[in-house]
A and B are shown apart, each in its own frame.
Chain A
Amino acid sequence: MSSYEARFKVWRGDVQGGGLEDFEVEVNDGEVVLDIIHRLQATQAPDLAVRWNCKAGKCGSCSAEINGRPRLLCMTRMSVFTREETITVTPLRAFPVVRDLVTNVGFNYDKARQVPAFVPPADLGPGEYRMMQEDVDRSQEFRKCIECFLCQDTCHVVRDHEENKPAFAGPRFLMRVAELDMHPLDAASETGLDRKQTAQDEHGLGYCNITKCCTEVCPEGIKITDNALIPLKERAVDRKYDPLVWLGSKIMRRST
């Protein structure tokens, strides 16, 4: 096993202010950035704050920015960096900082609450749901989300424009709207809730300019833009900008 001393710059501070602090720290074969942050805690900075849980890329807790790119600390191998480069680790830059590498991601929970939940079909009771696999494939891709909020962090709509936060749900929660709108048993439309229309009117779908950063950073490899956001935009077009489709759906009186 070989080891070397790596140079790190880690952001330390809180909402009052802070800055990048230099460290030299031992790195061993097979380690990930979170291992190095833990070593810093153990040897040099015992009060360094970092949020983490599973160390397996499944809990979505250790989201941060490494060399300026939103990534999971536990899924970023040290071997992707050269031994000479200085590795910069900062908290997510789209959310208010709490301390060191920990941010307040409450924005995302607020947005989650604003998406109306799955509406159970009136004529089916618990245990009576039957769905074909091909009907749930699309929604299941979106269910792989680990709520790391890297997509929310990298989306320039809110990252670069704080004032857009009230109007824009962000890619993660527009994907949630898409998931429910594609769900074969969601009965929202029977209750008068048109998810296609609310995506545009209440969750800010129009702010998305499909530059695909959410897809680029997703650690689960979900094709957020191609499979959720663009199909949702097309569904909104059906409702709001395509009179022929709207008329057709009224005449046919059916949900396809």
Chain B
Amino acid sequence: MATGTEPHLNSGGVRTGTRAAISAPHLRTDRWWLAPAATAAGLLAFIVYSTWRAFANADYYAAPYVSPFYSPCLAENCEPMRAGPNWDLFGSWWGVSPAIIILIFPLGFRLTCYYYRKAYYRGFWMSPPACAVAEPHKKYSGETRFPLILQNIHRYFFYAAIPVAGILTYDTVLAFRGGTDENYEWGHMGLGTLVFLVNIVLIWAYTLSCHSCRHIVGGKLKHFSKHPVRYKAWQWIGKLNARHMLLAWASLVSVALADFYVYLVASGVFDDPRFF
């Protein structure tokens, strides 16, 4: 196939000397900008909301509901929660919002997630903004160098995400408590319980659909036939993994909604409607 037209190694991209002489950076006529713009807007909205709530250090507990942003609560300045996820690991020296301690883990998990990487590389960094649309950067080294080589630690955040999801499951179980201050007992349910149930199902589905999970469970194997149980698990995770993007967004929205619900109840905007 060689014709003697060897490429010149410069960074002209699609305008490199030996390529077809077309000055436009792209010739796409569809609304290619819509997906990265919507992605960036959605992520930005979550960043603004979660930053406000994480630093607010208030209105994160309304018995029996604990905001997922503050669970587990690992400092002394945490609000006491009845049978809740208080775990004073950091003591009294921690002066700012305790949400910051725990949010590092889900934040790291999502920041290094293979789906979110695609989303913010396209939406924020425009690398590339869309397929066959020229990126604006003169140089590109991908994930070969610091800091982006750190994306390879995704699986450690996956390991950390499992206990965090476990604690949020505990919080969801707690949401079945209720009654009066004196008779704070099991067997109750309110609208918040439903919100928490939906949230925890989505959190687990997103966590288990992770590409690292898929690899650890069975993807790393060379011979599935020698590991039938892991093969079945890999297939099951694979089905979830095919919806990883959907689950990433659904769980992002649900965790923000669960927190917002607690905020509304805790700040007295409305009372949690109790079913029984």
B139, A161: Cβ atoms closer than 8 Å: yes
A162 with B132, Cβ < 8 A, contacts A210-B118, A242-B155, A256-B222 known: no
B18 interface residue per 8 A CB criterion: yes
The interface of chain B, by Cβ under 8 A from chain A, is: 1-3, 5-14, 16, 18-22, 26-30, 114, 117-118, 121-122, 127-128, 131-135, 137, 139-144, 148-149, 152-155, 211-212, 214-215, 219-227, 231, 241-242
Q: Which residues of B contact A70 (CB under 8 A)?
A: 131-132
Q: Which residues of B contact A240 (CB under 8 A)?
A: 152
Minimal beta-carbon separation of B195 from chain A (angstroms): 31
Residue of B20, B26, B114 with highest tally of chain A CB at under 10 A: B20
Q: Per a CB cutoff under 8 Å, which of B21, B134, B221 touches A18? A: B21
Q: Which residues of A contact B14 (CB under 8 A)?
A: 93-94, 159-160
B9, A234: Cβ atoms closer than 8 Å: no
Q: Which residues of A contact B219 (CB under 8 A)?
A: 231, 234
B211, A226: Cβ atoms closer than 8 Å: yes
A52 interface residue per 8 A CB criterion: no
A246 interface residue per 8 A CB criterion: no
CA distance A69 to B241 in the complex (A): 27
Minimal beta-carbon separation of B70 from chain A (angstroms): 31
A161 with B13, Cβ < 8 A, contacts A11-B20, A104-B3, A226-B211 known: yes
Residue on B nearest A167 in the bound complex, by CB:
B144
Q: Per a CB cutoff under 8 Å, which of B9, B18, B117, B222 touches A15? A: B18
A90 interface residue per 8 A CB criterion: yes
B9, A166: Cβ atoms closer than 8 Å: yes
B114, A230: Cβ atoms closer than 8 Å: yes
A156, B135: Cβ atoms closer than 8 Å: yes
Main secondary structure of the interface of A (DSSP, over half): mixed
A118 interface residue per 8 A CB criterion: no
A157 interface residue per 8 A CB criterion: yes
- A-B contact sample (7 more), CB < 8 A, given A134-B225, A159-B14, A210-B114: A88-B27, A88-B29, A93-B14, A134-B231, A154-B131, A156-B127, A230-B211
A38 interface residue per 8 A CB criterion: no
A206, B11: Cβ atoms closer than 8 Å: no
Minimal beta-carbon separation of B109 from chain A (angstroms): 15
Residue on B nearest A137 in the bound complex, by CB:
B224
A164 interface residue per 8 A CB criterion: yes
A135 with B223, Cβ < 8 A, contacts A13-B21, A161-B11, A230-B114 known: yes
Minimal beta-carbon separation of B20 from chain A (angstroms): 4
Q: Which residues of A contact B20 (CB under 8 A)?
A: 11, 13, 18, 90-91, 93, 97, 103
Interface residues in A130-189 (C-beta closer than 8 Å to B): 132, 134-135, 137, 153-154, 156-157, 159-166, 181-184
Q: Which residues of A contact B139 (CB under 8 A)?
A: 161
B16, A162: Cβ atoms closer than 8 Å: yes
Minimal beta-carbon separation of A153 from chain B (angstroms): 8
A98 with B21, Cβ < 8 A, contacts A162-B8, A166-B9, A235-B220 known: no
Q: Per a CB cutoff under 8 Å, which of A18, A106, A163, A210 touches B9? A: A163
A128 interface residue per 8 A CB criterion: no
Interface residues in A70-126 (C-beta closer than 8 Å to B): 70, 85, 88, 90-91, 93-98, 103-107, 109
A39 interface residue per 8 A CB criterion: no
Residue of A15, A181, A207, A240 with highest tally of chain B CB at under 10 A: A15
A208, B142: Cβ atoms closer than 8 Å: yes
Q: Which residues of A contact B121 (CB under 8 A)?
A: 209-211
Q: Per a CB cutoff under 8 Å, which of A17, A90, A209 touches B142? A: A209
A25 interface residue per 8 A CB criterion: no
B132, A65: Cβ atoms closer than 8 Å: yes
Question: Beta-carbon contacts of A197-211 to B below 8 Å, as 1s and 0s?
Answer: 000000010111111
A35 interface residue per 8 A CB criterion: no
CA distance A97 to B18 in the complex (A): 6
Question: Beta-carbon contacts of A42-80 to B below 8 Å, as 1s and 0s?
Answer: 000000000000000000000001011110000000000
Residue on A nearest B118 in the bound complex, by CB:
A211
The 7 closest A-B pairs by CB, nearest first: A68-B27, A68-B28, A206-B144, A96-B18, A213-B131, A234-B215, A207-B142
A2 interface residue per 8 A CB criterion: no
Minimal beta-carbon separation of A154 from chain B (angstroms): 5
Q: Which residues of A contact B134 (CB under 8 A)?
A: 156, 159-160
CA distance A65 to B18 in the complex (A): 17
A222 interface residue per 8 A CB criterion: no
CA distance A237 to B226 in the complex (A): 23
Minimal beta-carbon separation of A66 from chain B (angstroms): 9
Minimal beta-carbon separation of A164 from chain B (angstroms): 7
